[in-house]
């Protein structure tokens, strides 16, 4: 079996073993040269991709602060994302409780069961949302 070195183009005979099967260069020198070139290409590609990344100024969906967004980020920080998710969860919980009252089936709700939450959700969303938030804090959710 003969091969052509990927770096210098010379024909070489890889040793007839598993290692030889994967050999693409005639020598260690050629291999490291080829590897360096490969790395350089990879780096160039990466830089090109970075340059193409769209950078836009957006307003954070949570705090409305201006921030530099790459990709499709909509929150300025992890903290804002967390708050937004919490709010979403609170809202979902509220909607669920408005429809079903207290449910023992759901893990979260059964955890909430021994809590300060009343059987029926408060009609005022602000009050209810604060109660749920306190509960989430208490349960470390």
For the CB of residue 69, give the shortest distance to Zn ion in the complex, in Å: 11
* Beta pairing, strands 3-4 & 66-70: unpaired
**Phi-psi map region of 130: left, alpha, beta (phi>0 left; psi -120 to 50 alpha):** alpha
> Of 3-62, which residues contact Zn ion (CB under 5 A)?
5, 7-8, 26, 30, 60, 62
Map tokens 């990879």 to a residue. 42
Residue 76 binds Zn ion (CB under 5 A): yes
**Residue from 23, 33, 63, 84 that binds Zn ion (CB under 5 A)?**
63
Number of residues that bind Zn ion (CB under 5 A): 11
Which CB atom, from 69 or from 98, has the smaller least distance to Zn ion?
69
Residue 112, classified by CB atoms within 10 Å of its CB into exposed (0-12), middle (13-18) or buried (19+), is: buried
Contacts to Zn ion by CB under 5 A? 5, 7-8, 26, 30, 60, 62-63, 65, 76, 80
């Amino acid at each position: 079996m003969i091969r052509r070195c990927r770096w210098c183009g010379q024909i070489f005979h890889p040793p007839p073993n598993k290692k030889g099967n994967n050999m693409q260069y005639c020598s260690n020198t050629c291999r490291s040269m080829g590897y360096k070139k490969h790395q350089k290409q990879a780096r160039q590609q990466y830089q090109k991709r970075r340059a193409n990344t769209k950078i836009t100024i957006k307003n954070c969906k949570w705090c409305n602060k201006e921030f530099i967004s790459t990709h499709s980020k909509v929150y300025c920080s992890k903290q804002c994302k967390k708050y937004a998710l919490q709010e979403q969860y609170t809202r979902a919980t509220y909607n669920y409780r408005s429809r079903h009252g207290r449910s023992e089936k759901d893990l979260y709700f059964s955890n909430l069961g021994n809590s300060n939450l009343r059987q029926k959700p408060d009609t005022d969303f602000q009050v209810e949302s604060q109660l749920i938030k306190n509960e989430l804090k208490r349960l470390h959710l």
